[in-house]
Amino acid sequence: MTGTLLNAFTVLIGTALGVMLGHRLPERVRETVLTGLGLSTIGYAVLNIVDAMSNQENVPFKFIVVLLGVLFGAIVGELLDVDGALHRFGAALERRFAKSDDDESTARFIRGYIVASLVFCVGPMTILGSIQDGLKGDYSLLAIKSTLDGFAALAFAASLGIGVGFSIITILVFQGGIALLAGQIQGVFTSPMLAVLSAIGAVLIFGIGLTLLDLKKIRLANYLPALVVGPAIVALLGALGLPGFS
pLDDT in tens, 182-228: 777 767 788 898 889 889 988 998 998 898 888 888 888 899 999 99
- pLDDT score for 129: 86
Closest CA to 197 of 219, 172, 171, 224: 224
The yes-or-no verdict on residue 33 having pLDDT over 90 is no
* Average pLDDT of the residues of the chain: 88
Taking 3-state DSSP, the helix, strand and coil percentages for the chain, each rounded to the nearest 5, stand at 85, 0, 15
The yes-or-no verdict on residue 64 having pLDDT over 90 is yes
What is the Cα–Cα distance from 85 to 89, expressed in whole angstroms? Answer: 6
- Better-scored residue on pLDDT, 55 or 84: 84
| pLDDT tens string 116-154 | 998 898 877 888 888 888 878 888 889 989 998 998 899
Label residue 230 by pLDDT band (50, 70, 90): very high
Buried b (16+ CB within 10 A) or exposed e, 149-160: bbebbbbbbbbb
Closest CA to 124 of 201, 238, 26, 203: 201
The residue extents of the domains of the chain are 2-239
The yes-or-no verdict on residue 102 having pLDDT over 80 is no
What is the Cα–Cα distance from 121 to 228, expressed in whole angstroms? Answer: 14
Query: Residue 11 — left, alpha, or beta (φ > 0 → left; ψ -120 to 50 → alpha)?
Result: alpha
- pLDDT score for 96: 81
- pLDDT score for 169: 94
- pLDDT score for 8: 95
What is the Cα–Cα distance from 29 to 19, expressed in whole angstroms? Answer: 14
